[in-house]
Structures are given as C-alpha cells and as structure tokens.
C-alpha cells in the first residue's frame, strides 16, 4: 500500500516537473531559478523521505545478558535547577538493569552533591572541560570501566525498564550505539511546547525507523546508549554544537552499526517559551550545518552510500530557512517591483501540483501509524509547521553562521531573557508584516487610482493572488508574534526547569 502510494507520488513528481520546466514558463530568470531550486529542495527531501518510509523496520526485543553493566552519565551545569536532578536521579536509581549512575558535575553546588548522594549516584567533579557534555563524558570515560554508556539528559526522566529495552541489541558485536524514542511530558503546557514537540514526532516515528531499516539511524537529541569499545575506537564522544550527530557519523565511519528502538522509555521536556526554543533551534541549525561542513567530508569515504545520503539530508535540513525566505521574497518582490518568477496560470498550476501535494499528504498521514505514540501524536501537526515556517530567520541565521564559521552568540537562558524580549524575538516578523501591509496598501492605491484600467483588469488574478500569498506568510509570522507576546505576558509555569542546551 505504502509502496503503491510512493510510486504514484513519484509519477506525480515527474508530472509536475516535466510541466514546470518549460521555457515559456520562465518569467524573470533569476527568480525562476531560485524558486525552482527551492521547490527541488523541498521535493527532493520528500523523495528521500518516501524512500525512507519504505524501509521502516523495528528491531526485535532481545533479552539483555545479565552480565551487561552500564554506566549512566548525567551532566550537571551551573544554572540548572536542583529539583530537576532530584527527579532524574531518583528515576535513574530505579532502572532495573545493573548500572551505576554518575553525575558529571561542574556546578560546585553542595545541594546537587547532596541530591546525588541521596540517590546513590557517583558524583564526578569535572570542571573547566570543553563542550556542552562531551568534555565531561570523555573525562568520565577515563574514570569508569562499564561496558555500556548511557548518556542521559538531565531533563529526561527514565523509566525503570529503559536499559532492559535497549541492552539486548548489543548482543550483535557490530552494534556500536542504540538510540531510543523521545517523548515529552510538557508538550501541552504552551503553544511553543506543543509546536516544538510536534516538530519531533515524525522524526522519532517513521523517519528514524526507516533510517534503522536502511542502516543509517543516528544518536540525536538525547539518551543514546554506546558500547564503550565503540566510543574508544573513535577517541571518545565528539565535540561541537551537534555532539551527538558528530559522534554518530564518526561511529558509522568507523564501521559500527546502529539500532533505533522506537519505544518511549523516558519523558523529557521541550522549551516552553519562544526565547528558549529559538535559541535551541539556532544552536541546532548551526550545529547540524557544522556536521555537514566539517565532519561529513572527513567521514564521507568510509560511509555506506545510504549513510552518505542520510547524513547529507540531515545536514541540509535547515536549508529550509533559506527556501522559506525565497518563498517569502517572491510575493514581496512582485508587490514592490512587479517581478514575476514564472508565467503560469493558476488553474494549470493547481492541476499539476495538486497530485504531488495530495500524495505527499497521503504518505505523511499513512506513515503516521509508525509514530511512537500514535494516539497522542497523530494529526497534521499544524502548530509545529507554523512555528517552523514562522521562525525562518532563526534557521537562516544558523545557516549563515555555519557557513561563515561564526559561533552562536551567547544568549541568556530563558529565565533572564524573558524581560523585554518581545521585540528581540519577533522583530524580523514584525518588520515583515509591516512591510507586507505597507506594500499591500500601496498596491491597492496604485490599482485604484494610478495604473491604466486595462492593465488593472488584466492583472486582477496575479496581483490579488500574490497579495494573498504574502498575507499567508504574514499569518505564519504572526504565530511567532503570538508566541513572543505570550513569552512576555505569561510566566512560563516552570521556567526554572528550562535550560538551553
């Protein structure tokens, strides 16, 4: 069924592009090229995504060997709330498989030390090490000797059977690392939290399962479990903004294989306010590009062809900041200068693009049965989609910073950033909406009073079409403004629990 859908969708792609790329459709060549590139990027991702869902697979559960011992690494950084460690360390203590919990701590906070002691965690004082987690992890590796390492995020509360579900996969001596699904306990607490969670559903559902089927699943986000000898073979955990991805690509390049277990064995937290979310997304986009630009070329020759494709797709994910900017610029350029990228009738466009769009939606909805928690996660994920498009300036900035090799500037954590942040968070969107409304008013004035009547009559369709296109973008942008406004008005109910990693 899915296969048939994908094949039909392929034909829809051909149907669209054979029609789109015609000489007589070219308006202003540069704009046509940009728009076509943006569309090819989008459709290219869809194609790889469709290929990926065809190979969805789930590993069978294997009973772990009783002798398997795990070191659980939890990092603590100054500024993180003690209550969070209390909760996470308590849960880690309840994990059933044999393990030792290590708190990799540079807080110098006696309260954290007391909490660690209360829950029987070994506190390793590791101060002044590079990277978010990687420096501490590598130092801790030297101080411990368990065969398996679980790197647990401090804001993820593990279930007791976490290791039980994972460790059996290591019976295969070639498996270097295992990733588990992620789920969030706070996704309904704000618009931003809901959107942030929705953006991850498809990835931790069908996407990673397909990647497992193709031998390309990665560690990403949090809660990866590693074989010590695998980490040792690449000289320890990778350093950088996307440390987990760098580690994954190095392990794959070293010949280790990976497993993705699509089970929810912990609950974490997503950012609840826009400032934290934007900061997190900026770091991710910067970090993921960095993986592509620096780590990918080094690993390229040692990866399998599918891994090459997969890391390329991950690495270029945040280019949608750029493509969204292109889509946004097109109606504004028309409203400003009357430039059109393509001369295509609206009926024709709908006729040729509709099959592609419909099959895209069908496949998305159809593959939703592979979500990790279908009853909770099913849907069109509209909030996630809106915020993703609305936050294009963040992703574009991350892209530019990566290409210019500029580090992400320090921005205060959510708690400090909240005051007076409305303008800073939403300025691009506010400027965009103001410009759109100004251009719209100008267009209406020109059409009513200045342009020749015959020209007005002939261009009704394209002019108002472009105007509505611009207004749709403004609607996306207003989702960001709404979230920014909420960030100033409503106190995040547990802001103390949020840090930006």
Partner 1 sequence: MTRRRVEIAALFLGWFLALGFISRALFTASSSITYTRISSALHSVGRDASAVEGNMVRRARGGARRDRLKELFPNLHDPAALKNPAGLLWGAFDGGFPQSMEGFADLEQQMETTFPLVSLYQAWGDLPENQFPTSMMETIAEIGSIPIISWEPWVTTFDREVRTNLAPVERREFGSLAAIARGDYDFHIVRWAEEAAAYKKPFFIRFAHEMNDPYRYPWGPQNGNRAEDFIAAWRHVHLLFEKKGAANAIWVWSPHLSMPWLEYYYPGPDVVDWIGFGVLNYGTVASWSRWWNVDDMLERPYVPLSSFKKPMMITEFGTLPTGGDPRAWITGARVAFESRYPEVHAIVLYNQTHDDTLGGGALNWSPLAMPGTVQLLSAWMASARIR
Query: Can you tell me the distance from the alpha carbon of 71 to that of 138, in angstroms, rounded to the nearest whole number?
Result: 13
Q: Does 343 bind partner 1 (CB under 8 A)?
A: yes
| Shortest Å distance, C-beta 348 to partner 1 | 6
Nearer to partner 1, 15 or 312 (CB): 15
24 is a site residue for partner 1 (CB under 8 A): yes
- Is the Cα torsion angle 364, 290, 179, 223 positive or negative in sign? negative
- 1 touching partner 1, by CB under 8 A: no
Between CA 419 and CA 422 the distance in angstroms is 8
Q: How far is the CB of 169 from partner 1 (least distance, A)?
A: 22
The angle formed by the CA atoms of residues 51, 378 and 162, to the nearest 5 degrees, is 85
Q: What is the distance, to the nearest Å, from the Cα of residue 147 to the centroid of all Cα atoms in its chain?
A: 30
Residue 456 is a binding residue for partner 1 (CB under 8 A): yes
358 counts as binding partner 1 under rule CB under 8 A: no
Ranges of H-type helices in 186-319: 191-202, 208-213, 228-233, 243-253, 274-290, 296-299, 305-315
User: What does the CA dihedral 30, 342, 316, 289 come to, rounded to 10 degrees?
Assistant: 40
Contact between 305 and partner 1 by CB under 8 A: the answer reads no
Contact range with partner 1 by CB under 8 A, out of 75-83, 226-234, 279-287, 350-358: 350-358
Query: Residue 130 or 346: which CB sits closer to partner 1?
Result: 346
With binding defined as CB under 8 A, does residue 357 bind partner 1?
A: no
Q: Name which of 67 and 347 has its Cβ closer to partner 1.
A: 347
Interatomic CA distance for residues 131 and 241, integer angstroms: 8
Contact flag: residue 309 with partner 1 (CB under 8 A): no
Provide the H-helix boundaries in 94-158: 110-118, 134-143
Give me the least distance between CB of 177 and partner 1, in Å please: 24
- Decide if residue 346 touches partner 1 (CB under 8 A): yes
- Binding part of the chain for partner 1, among 1-9, 157-165, 224-232, 255-263 by CB under 8 A, reads 1-9
Phi-psi region of 341 (alpha: psi -120 to 50; beta: other; left: phi over 0): alpha
Q: Which is nearer to partner 1, 229 or 468 (CB)?
A: 468
Nearer to partner 1, 55 or 485 (CB): 55
Name which position in 33, 441, 458, 475 contacts partner 1 (CB under 8 A): 458
| Whether 103 contacts 112, CB under 8 Å | yes
Euclidean distance between CA atoms 133 and 287, whole angstroms? 14
DSSP string, 326-378: HHHHHHHHHHHH---SB---HHHHHHHHHHHHHHHHHHHHHGGGGSSSHHHH-
The whole-angstrom separation of Cα 309 and Cα 273 is 34
- Per-residue contact flags (x/-) with partner 1 for residues 428 to 447, judged by CB under 8 A: -------------------x
Q: Does 449 bind partner 1 (CB under 8 A)?
A: yes
Where does this chain bind partner 1 (CB under 8 A)?
3-4, 7-8, 10-12, 15, 24, 343, 345-348, 350-351, 354-355, 447-449, 452-458, 460-461, 464
């Amino acid at each position: 069924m899915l296969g048939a859908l994908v094949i039909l969708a392929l034909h829809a792609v051909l149907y669209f592009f054979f029609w789109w790329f015609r000489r007589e459709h070219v308006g202003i060549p540069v704009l046509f090229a940009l728009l076509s590139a943006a569309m090819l990027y989008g459709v290219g991702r869809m194609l790889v995504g469709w290929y990926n869902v065809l190979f969805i697979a789930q590993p069978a559960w294997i009973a772990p060997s009783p002798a398997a011992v795990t070191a659980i690494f939890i990092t603590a950084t100054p500024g993180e709330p003690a209550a969070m460690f209390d909760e996470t360390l308590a849960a880690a203590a309840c994990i059933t498989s044999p393990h030792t919990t290590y708190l990799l701590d540079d807080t110098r906070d006696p309260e954290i030390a007391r909490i660690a002691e209360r829950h029987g965690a070994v506190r390793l004082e590791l101060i002044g090490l590079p990277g978010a987690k990687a420096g501490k992890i590598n130092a801790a590796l030297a101080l411990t000797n368990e065969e398996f390492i679980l790197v647990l995020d401090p804001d993820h509360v593990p279930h007791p059977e976490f290791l039980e579900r994972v460790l059996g996969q290591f019976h295969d001596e070639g498996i270097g690392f295992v990733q588990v699904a992620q789920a969030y306990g706070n996704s309904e607490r704000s618009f931003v939290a809901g959107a942030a969670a929705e953006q991850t559903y498809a990835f931790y559902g069908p996407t990673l399962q397909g990647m497992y089927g193709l031998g390309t699943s990665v560690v990403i986000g949090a809660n990866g479990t590693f074989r010590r000898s695998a980490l040792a073979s690449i000289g320890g955990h990778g350093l950088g903004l996307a440390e987990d991805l760098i580690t994954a690509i190095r392990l794959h390049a070293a010949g280790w294989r990976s497993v993705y277990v699509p089970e929810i064995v912990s609950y974490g937290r997503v950012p609840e306010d826009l400032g934290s979310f934007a900061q997190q997304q900026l770091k991710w986009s910067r970090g993921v590009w960095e993986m592509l630009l620096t780590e990918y070329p080094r690993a390229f020759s040692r990866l399998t062809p599918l891994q090459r494709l997969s890391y390329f797709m991950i690495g270029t994910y945040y280019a949608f900041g750029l493509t969204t900017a292109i889509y946004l610029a097109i109606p504004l350029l028309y409203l400003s200068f009357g430039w059109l990228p393509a001369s295509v009738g609206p009926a024709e466009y709908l006729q040729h693009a509709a099959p592609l769009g419909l099959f895209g939606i069908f496949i998305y909805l159809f593959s939703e049965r592979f979500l990790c928690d279908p009853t909770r996660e099913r849907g069109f994920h509209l909030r996630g989609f809106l915020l993703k498009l609305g936050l294009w300036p963040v992703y574009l900035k991350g892209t530019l910073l990566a290409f210019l090799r500029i580090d992400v500037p320090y921005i205060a954590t959510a708690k400090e950033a909240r005051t007076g942040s409305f303008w800073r968070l939403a300025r691009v969107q506010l400027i965009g909406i103001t410009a759109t409304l100004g251009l719209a008013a100008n267009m209406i004035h020109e059409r009513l009073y200045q342009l020749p009547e015959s020209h007005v009559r002939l261009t009704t369709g394209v002019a108002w079409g472009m105007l509505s296109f611009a207004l749709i973008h403004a609607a996306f942008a207003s989702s960001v403004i709404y979230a920014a406004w909420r960030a100033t008005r409503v106190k995040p109910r547990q802001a103390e629990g949020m840090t930006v990693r």
